Amino acid sequence: MATAVKPRIKLDKKEAKKGDIVEVKALVAHIMETGQRKDAQGNTIPRKIIKKFVCTVAGKQVFAADFEPAVSANPYIQFKFKAAESGPVVLTWTDDDGSTIVGEETIKVT
Amino acid sequence: MIGLSRRQVLAGSAGALAIATFGAAPAQAANNAQDLIKAFTGGKSATEAKVKLDLPEIAENGNTVPMTVTVESPMTEASHVTEVLVLADGNPNAGVATFHFSPASGVAEANTRIRLATTQNIIAIAKMNDGSFVTASKQVKVTIGGCGG
Protein backbone atom coordinates (compact mmCIF):
# COMPACT_ATOMS: atom_id res chain seq x y z
CA MET A 1 0.00 0.00 0.00
CA ALA A 2 1.03 3.55 -0.54
CA THR A 3 1.79 4.27 3.07
CA ALA A 4 4.02 7.21 2.19
CA VAL A 5 1.00 9.31 1.31
CA LYS A 6 -0.97 10.66 4.18
CA PRO A 7 -4.21 12.34 3.22
CA ARG A 8 -5.29 15.52 4.96
CA ILE A 9 -8.83 15.25 6.25
CA LYS A 10 -10.83 17.82 8.12
CA LEU A 11 -14.31 17.51 9.58
CA ASP A 12 -16.00 20.80 10.40
CA LYS A 13 -17.08 19.32 13.72
CA LYS A 14 -15.87 16.35 15.74
CA GLU A 15 -19.04 16.09 17.73
CA ALA A 16 -22.47 16.42 16.21
CA LYS A 17 -26.07 16.03 17.18
CA LYS A 18 -27.99 13.33 15.40
CA GLY A 19 -29.23 14.72 12.11
CA ASP A 20 -26.61 17.47 11.89
CA ILE A 21 -24.85 17.99 8.60
CA VAL A 22 -21.10 17.42 8.85
CA GLU A 23 -18.78 18.80 6.22
CA VAL A 24 -15.69 16.85 5.20
CA LYS A 25 -12.72 18.33 3.36
CA ALA A 26 -9.99 16.03 2.15
CA LEU A 27 -6.83 16.49 0.17
CA VAL A 28 -4.51 13.75 -0.98
CA ALA A 29 -1.15 14.11 -2.69
CA HIS A 30 -1.38 12.37 -6.04
CA ILE A 31 0.02 13.15 -9.47
CA MET A 32 -3.26 12.40 -11.35
CA GLU A 33 -1.31 11.86 -14.56
CA THR A 34 -3.75 12.04 -17.44
CA GLY A 35 -2.06 9.63 -19.83
CA GLN A 36 -2.20 12.31 -22.51
CA ARG A 37 0.95 14.26 -21.83
CA LYS A 38 4.22 13.45 -23.54
CA ASP A 39 7.71 13.70 -22.12
CA ALA A 40 10.67 15.43 -23.80
CA GLN A 41 11.31 12.36 -25.95
CA GLY A 42 7.75 12.29 -27.22
CA ASN A 43 6.80 9.22 -25.21
CA THR A 44 3.40 9.26 -23.63
CA ILE A 45 3.58 9.51 -19.87
CA PRO A 46 1.52 6.61 -18.54
CA ARG A 47 -1.80 7.34 -16.96
CA LYS A 48 -1.97 7.28 -13.18
CA ILE A 49 -5.28 8.37 -11.78
CA ILE A 50 -7.21 7.88 -8.58
CA LYS A 51 -10.39 6.56 -10.07
CA LYS A 52 -12.51 5.90 -7.01
CA PHE A 53 -13.14 7.68 -3.76
CA VAL A 54 -15.39 6.32 -1.03
CA CYS A 55 -16.33 7.66 2.38
CA THR A 56 -17.95 5.48 5.00
CA VAL A 57 -19.18 6.53 8.43
CA ALA A 58 -19.52 3.77 11.01
CA GLY A 59 -19.29 1.29 8.15
CA LYS A 60 -22.03 2.86 6.02
CA GLN A 61 -21.23 4.53 2.72
CA VAL A 62 -22.28 8.18 2.78
CA PHE A 63 -20.53 9.48 -0.31
CA ALA A 64 -18.52 8.19 -3.25
CA ALA A 65 -17.01 9.64 -6.37
CA ASP A 66 -15.52 8.32 -9.62
CA PHE A 67 -12.73 10.50 -10.89
CA GLU A 68 -11.61 10.95 -14.48
CA PRO A 69 -8.29 12.41 -15.66
CA ALA A 70 -10.00 15.82 -15.66
CA VAL A 71 -9.70 15.98 -11.87
CA SER A 72 -6.71 18.11 -10.87
CA ALA A 73 -3.49 16.81 -9.38
CA ASN A 74 -3.57 16.42 -5.60
CA PRO A 75 -7.31 15.91 -5.71
CA TYR A 76 -9.35 17.88 -3.27
CA ILE A 77 -12.83 16.78 -2.36
CA GLN A 78 -15.42 18.37 -0.17
CA PHE A 79 -18.77 16.87 0.69
CA LYS A 80 -21.25 16.53 3.51
CA PHE A 81 -22.97 13.78 5.42
CA LYS A 82 -25.75 13.53 7.92
CA ALA A 83 -24.65 12.53 11.41
CA ALA A 84 -26.41 9.31 12.33
CA GLU A 85 -24.15 7.37 14.67
CA SER A 86 -20.72 7.66 16.26
CA GLY A 87 -17.87 5.84 14.62
CA PRO A 88 -14.92 6.04 12.33
CA VAL A 89 -15.09 8.20 9.22
CA VAL A 90 -13.02 6.27 6.71
CA LEU A 91 -11.95 7.78 3.41
CA THR A 92 -10.49 5.52 0.76
CA TRP A 93 -8.90 6.54 -2.51
CA THR A 94 -8.31 3.79 -5.07
CA ASP A 95 -5.66 4.13 -7.75
CA ASP A 96 -5.77 2.73 -11.30
CA ASP A 97 -3.42 -0.03 -10.19
CA GLY A 98 -5.66 -1.02 -7.32
CA SER A 99 -3.51 0.42 -4.55
CA THR A 100 -5.36 2.44 -1.95
CA ILE A 101 -4.76 5.43 0.26
CA VAL A 102 -6.81 5.36 3.44
CA GLY A 103 -7.45 8.11 5.93
CA GLU A 104 -9.51 8.00 9.08
CA GLU A 105 -11.19 10.45 11.44
CA THR A 106 -13.75 9.91 14.16
CA ILE A 107 -17.16 11.44 14.64
CA LYS A 108 -19.05 11.46 17.91
CA VAL A 109 -22.79 11.71 17.55
CA THR A 110 -24.87 12.62 20.57
CA MET B 1 5.23 -2.90 1.69
CA ILE B 2 4.77 -3.08 -2.04
CA GLY B 3 5.69 0.50 -2.90
CA LEU B 4 8.42 -0.49 -5.31
CA SER B 5 6.53 -3.18 -7.15
CA ARG B 6 3.66 -0.80 -7.70
CA ARG B 7 5.93 1.43 -9.71
CA GLN B 8 7.07 -1.47 -11.78
CA VAL B 9 3.51 -2.45 -12.51
CA LEU B 10 2.74 1.09 -13.63
CA ALA B 11 5.75 1.28 -15.89
CA GLY B 12 4.59 -1.86 -17.61
CA SER B 13 1.05 -0.70 -18.24
CA ALA B 14 1.98 2.26 -20.42
CA GLY B 15 1.41 0.68 -23.80
CA ALA B 16 -2.33 0.72 -24.09
CA LEU B 17 -2.50 4.46 -23.57
CA ALA B 18 0.04 5.35 -26.22
CA ILE B 19 -2.59 6.54 -28.66
CA ALA B 20 -3.28 9.87 -27.03
CA THR B 21 -6.04 11.93 -28.54
CA PHE B 22 -4.65 15.29 -27.56
CA GLY B 23 -4.29 17.74 -30.38
CA ALA B 24 -7.71 16.98 -31.77
CA ALA B 25 -9.13 20.49 -32.11
CA PRO B 26 -10.12 21.18 -28.53
CA ALA B 27 -12.03 24.37 -29.34
CA GLN B 28 -14.98 22.42 -30.71
CA ALA B 29 -17.28 20.43 -28.55
CA ALA B 30 -16.45 17.31 -30.51
CA ASN B 31 -15.68 14.95 -27.69
CA ASN B 32 -17.72 12.14 -26.21
CA ALA B 33 -19.95 14.33 -24.00
CA GLN B 34 -23.17 13.45 -25.82
CA ASP B 35 -22.38 9.73 -25.71
CA LEU B 36 -21.73 9.87 -21.98
CA ILE B 37 -24.96 11.76 -21.38
CA LYS B 38 -26.86 9.17 -23.35
CA ALA B 39 -25.23 6.32 -21.45
CA PHE B 40 -26.02 8.00 -18.14
CA THR B 41 -29.65 8.90 -18.79
CA GLY B 42 -30.46 5.93 -20.99
CA GLY B 43 -31.79 8.32 -23.63
CA LYS B 44 -34.18 10.10 -21.27
CA SER B 45 -34.24 13.86 -21.40
CA ALA B 46 -33.15 15.90 -18.41
CA THR B 47 -34.99 19.03 -17.32
CA GLU B 48 -33.02 22.13 -16.54
CA ALA B 49 -33.71 22.61 -12.85
CA LYS B 50 -32.55 22.10 -9.28
CA VAL B 51 -28.88 21.69 -10.16
CA LYS B 52 -26.47 24.47 -9.30
CA LEU B 53 -22.98 24.56 -10.74
CA ASP B 54 -20.59 26.91 -9.05
CA LEU B 55 -17.53 27.67 -11.15
CA PRO B 56 -15.56 30.83 -11.85
CA GLU B 57 -16.61 32.82 -14.94
CA ILE B 58 -12.99 33.07 -15.96
CA ALA B 59 -10.40 30.52 -14.92
CA GLU B 60 -6.87 31.83 -15.28
CA ASN B 61 -5.33 28.44 -14.76
CA GLY B 62 -7.14 25.53 -16.33
CA ASN B 63 -5.09 23.08 -14.30
CA THR B 64 -7.12 23.55 -11.20
CA VAL B 65 -10.56 25.08 -11.43
CA PRO B 66 -12.70 24.88 -8.29
CA MET B 67 -16.11 23.40 -9.00
CA THR B 68 -19.08 22.94 -6.70
CA VAL B 69 -22.18 21.09 -7.73
CA THR B 70 -25.30 21.24 -5.59
CA VAL B 71 -28.61 19.54 -6.24
CA GLU B 72 -31.72 20.73 -4.49
CA SER B 73 -33.31 17.75 -2.81
CA PRO B 74 -34.74 16.80 0.58
CA MET B 75 -32.41 13.75 0.53
CA THR B 76 -34.92 11.47 2.24
CA GLU B 77 -35.53 7.81 1.49
CA ALA B 78 -38.54 8.85 -0.58
CA SER B 79 -36.80 11.51 -2.61
CA HIS B 80 -33.07 11.83 -3.06
CA VAL B 81 -30.30 12.26 -5.56
CA THR B 82 -28.42 9.07 -6.36
CA GLU B 83 -25.75 10.17 -8.82
CA VAL B 84 -24.39 13.32 -10.37
CA LEU B 85 -22.37 13.16 -13.58
CA VAL B 86 -20.11 16.11 -14.39
CA LEU B 87 -18.87 16.61 -17.95
CA ALA B 88 -16.66 19.11 -19.73
CA ASP B 89 -17.56 19.38 -23.41
CA GLY B 90 -14.24 20.84 -24.55
CA ASN B 91 -11.78 18.48 -22.87
CA PRO B 92 -10.12 15.62 -24.78
CA ASN B 93 -12.34 13.32 -22.73
CA ALA B 94 -15.64 14.69 -21.54
CA GLY B 95 -15.82 12.78 -18.25
CA VAL B 96 -14.83 14.76 -15.17
CA ALA B 97 -16.33 12.97 -12.21
CA THR B 98 -19.37 11.10 -10.98
CA PHE B 99 -20.59 11.66 -7.45
CA HIS B 100 -22.68 9.07 -5.63
CA PHE B 101 -25.11 10.18 -2.97
CA SER B 102 -27.60 8.51 -0.67
CA PRO B 103 -30.00 9.68 2.04
CA ALA B 104 -27.03 9.32 4.44
CA SER B 105 -25.33 12.16 2.56
CA GLY B 106 -27.87 14.61 3.96
CA VAL B 107 -27.05 17.16 1.28
CA ALA B 108 -26.30 16.55 -2.39
CA GLU B 109 -23.27 18.75 -2.65
CA ALA B 110 -19.69 18.10 -3.70
CA ASN B 111 -16.70 20.26 -4.43
CA THR B 112 -13.51 19.35 -6.20
CA ARG B 113 -10.92 20.92 -8.48
CA ILE B 114 -10.90 20.08 -12.14
CA ARG B 115 -8.78 20.47 -15.26
CA LEU B 116 -10.14 22.36 -18.25
CA ALA B 117 -8.30 22.31 -21.56
CA THR B 118 -10.00 25.35 -23.02
CA THR B 119 -13.00 27.64 -22.76
CA GLN B 120 -15.99 25.33 -22.64
CA ASN B 121 -19.24 24.32 -21.00
CA ILE B 122 -19.42 22.28 -17.84
CA ILE B 123 -22.49 20.09 -17.65
CA ALA B 124 -23.90 18.43 -14.55
CA ILE B 125 -26.68 15.86 -14.72
CA ALA B 126 -28.28 14.51 -11.58
CA LYS B 127 -30.14 11.25 -11.37
CA MET B 128 -32.96 11.16 -8.83
CA ASN B 129 -34.13 8.00 -7.06
CA ASP B 130 -37.41 8.08 -9.02
CA GLY B 131 -35.48 7.78 -12.29
CA SER B 132 -35.84 11.37 -13.43
CA PHE B 133 -32.94 13.58 -14.44
CA VAL B 134 -32.17 17.23 -13.86
CA THR B 135 -29.33 19.18 -15.38
CA ALA B 136 -27.45 22.46 -15.48
CA SER B 137 -24.54 23.80 -17.46
CA LYS B 138 -22.17 26.69 -17.19
CA GLN B 139 -19.54 28.17 -19.46
CA VAL B 140 -16.07 28.78 -18.11
CA LYS B 141 -13.52 30.90 -19.96
CA VAL B 142 -10.07 29.40 -19.60
CA THR B 143 -6.99 31.55 -20.03
CA ILE B 144 -4.33 28.84 -19.81
CA GLY B 145 -5.40 25.30 -20.65
CA GLY B 146 -4.88 22.58 -18.12
CA CYS B 147 -4.13 19.41 -20.02
CA GLY B 148 -0.40 19.88 -20.41
CA GLY B 149 -0.61 20.01 -24.21
Rounded average pLDDT over B59-70: 94
Chain B closest-CA separation from residue A110 CA (Å): 17
pTM equals 0.83
**Residues from chain B contacting residue A71 (CB–CB below 8 Å):** 96-97, 112-115
Nearest-angstrom CA–CA distance, B140 and B138: 7
Following DSSP, what letter does each residue of B4-61 receive, concatenated?
Answer: HHHHHHHHHT-GGG-S--TTS-TTS--SSHHHHHHHHHTT---EE-SEEEE--SEEEE
Q: Is A47 on the interface with B (CB under 8 A)?
A: yes
Residue B83 scores a pLDDT above 60: yes
- For residue B49, the number of C-alpha atoms closer than 13 Å in the C-beta half-sphere is 7
Element housing B120 (H / E): strand B120-128
Rounded average pLDDT over B15-29: 39
User: How would you classify the pairing of strands B47-48 and B133-144?
Assistant: parallel
Return all residues near B4 (Cβ < 8 A) that are at least 6 apart: none
Q: Is A4 on the interface with B (CB under 8 A)?
A: yes
Nearest to A62 among B13, B104, B149 (CB): B104
Is the CB of B115 less than 8 angstroms away from the CB of A70?
A: yes
Is the CB of B104 less than 8 angstroms away from the CB of A71?
A: no
User: How would you classify the pairing of strands B58-61 and B81-88?
Assistant: unpaired
Nearest-angstrom CA–CA distance, A15 and A25: 16
Burial label, B4 (beta-carbon count in 10 A; 0-12, 13-18, 19+): exposed
Residue B115 scores a pLDDT above 90: yes
Residue B111 scores a pLDDT above 90: yes
Q: Give the pLDDT band (50/70/90) at residue B20.
A: very low
Rounded average pLDDT over B34-42: 93
Residue B36 has phi, psi (to 5 degrees) of: -65, -35
Nearest to A97 among B6, B22, B92 (CB): B6
Is the CB of A44 less than 8 angstroms away from the CB of B14?
A: yes
Rounded average pLDDT over B27-49: 85
Cα Rg of chain A, angstroms: 16
Q: What is residue B49's predicted lDDT score, i.e. its pLDDT? A: 92
Residue B33 scores a pLDDT above 70: yes
Q: What is residue B25's predicted lDDT score, i.e. its pLDDT? A: 39
**Residues from chain A contacting residue B115 (CB–CB below 8 Å):** 34, 69-72
Nearest to B112 among A64, A77, A84 (CB): A77
Q: Is A21 on the interface with B (CB under 8 A)?
A: yes
What's the mean per-residue pLDDT of chain B?
A: 83
ipTM confidence score: 0.91
Is the CB of A80 less than 8 angstroms away from the CB of B147?
A: no
Nearest-angstrom CA–CA distance, B112 and A82: 20
Q: What is residue B145's predicted lDDT score, i.e. its pLDDT? A: 78
Q: Give the pLDDT band (50/70/90) at residue A19.
A: very high
Sign of the alpha-carbon dihedral angle for B136, B141, B144, B149: positive
Q: What is residue B15's predicted lDDT score, i.e. its pLDDT? A: 38
Residue B123 scores a pLDDT above 60: yes
Q: Is A37 on the interface with B (CB under 8 A)?
A: yes
Rounded average pLDDT over B135-140: 95
pLDDT digits (tens, 9 = 90+) for A38-96: 889 999 999 999 999 999 999 999 999 999 999 999 999 999 999 999 999 999 999 99
Nearest to A72 among B95, B99, B113 (CB): B113
